[in-house]
Amino acid sequence: MKKRTLGKASPLEVSEIGLGCMGMSHGYGPARDPAEMTKVIHAAIERGVTFFDTAECYGPYINEELVGKALAPFKGQVVIATKFGITIQGGTPGGAQVVDGRPEVIRRSVEGSLKRLGVEAIDLYYQHRVDPKIPPEEVAGVISELIAAGKVRHWGLSEASVETIRRAHAVCPLTAIQSEYSMMWREPEKALIPTLEELGIGLVPFSPLGKGFLTATIGKEATFGKDDFRSVVPRFAPENLAANQSLAELVCHLAAEKGCTPAQIALAWVLAQKPWIVPIPGTRRIDRLEENLGAANVSLTSADLDEIRAALDAQPIAGDRYPPALAARVGK
């Protein structure tokens, strides 16, 4: 697999497609068997993936433990990204999530993540959500100390505003910003992507397959269990699933033209936007992993991209991507 570089001031080389590991233990139904998920992670490595994404709050904690144990034999060969800044009340599944970016919380979080991941330093450490009560300069200062101490190598922000990115980057250069970005959510094109290009910061899109919708396997009658995050996402409410089927049909049409699957055309489109964009689709199945990685072999010309952009511009998306309580935590 080809490599891409995230960031210019503090560059980090990773595989051009990474693996989002959250769904193995959190967010999309019950946690899966760690042994089976380890097989998926190892299959990714065998196919050239070097970039793996997790977070302290996934589970909570058990996803970092899974990723750490699975990648233990490959130290020095892979890049692990994890996150701080969302604490779980009670530290147990189902506990309320609280955004907390206080310096003492960051210092405590990094020690926990290092232990669970079984590493001496975290390759890429994101602030999971910006805490509006803590100035970004203060967070960046703490990260600078952790980098100087050898506990963190690179850092980033997730779902942050352009203003916060600029302020944080001025204190401690950012390597990457994580944000949702896909054919289904193109808001980053307005201000985020131009800012990252200006500053020389990489973009790591999560949910590049629209939380599964862009695979064209989620019909208008689909339902989701209470332990599936999509059960509370307005975009996946019955009326919006029905309204958005035209997007699924568009993706199927584009895929048929290129002789690939809908998931592959959706990922290839993300990859084609900028050479410093590295999507991290998640999966719990080796066959889906192989399908996703096959997107790297789908070539899109400038004419293709113009055609797709025009089609997407004409395609309204029904339903917000977050319920109100979660929407209030992004863009800070």
Report the predicted TM-score, pTM, of the whole model to 2 decimal places. Answer: 0.98
Amino acid, single-letter form, for residue 253? H
- Cα–Cα distance for residue pair 24/7, rounded to 1 Å: 28
* 267-279 core/surface letters (b: 16 or more CB in 10 A; e: else): bbbbbbbeebbbb
**pLDDT in the model for residue 92:** 79
CA dihedral 51, 52, 55, 60 (to 10 degrees): 180
Provide the residue range defining the domain that includes 157. 3-211+264-298
**pLDDT in the model for residue 98:** 95
Count of residues for the chain?
Answer: 332
**pLDDT in the model for residue 68:** 98
**pLDDT in the model for residue 95:** 83
What's 122's domain CATH number? 3.20.20.100
**pLDDT in the model for residue 249:** 97
| Domain assignment of residue 227, yes or no | no
Question: Which residue carries 């999309």 as its tokens?
Answer: 28
| Domain assignment of residue 328, yes or no | no
**pLDDT in the model for residue 88:** 86
| Domain assignment of residue 277, yes or no | yes
| Domain assignment of residue 187, yes or no | yes
| Domain assignment of residue 97, yes or no | yes
Amino acid, single-letter form, for residue 58? Y
Q: How many domains does the chain have?
A: 1
Active-site residue, selected from the candidate residues 58, 61, 125, 126: 58
**pLDDT in the model for residue 89:** 85
| Domain assignment of residue 236, yes or no | no
| Domain assignment of residue 75, yes or no | yes
Contacts (Cβ under 8 Å, ≥6 apart) of 148: none
> Is 58 part of the annotated catalytic residue set?
yes
| Domain assignment of residue 111, yes or no | yes
Mean pLDDT by 10 residues, the chain (332 residues): 97 98 96 98 98 97 98 97 93 86 98 98 98 98 98 98 98 98 98 98 98 97 95 97 97 98 98 98 98 98 97 96 95 96
**pLDDT in the model for residue 90:** 80
**pLDDT in the model for residue 93:** 79
The CA distances from residue 25 to 28, 55, 168, 200, 330, in Å, are 8, 11, 31, 33, 23
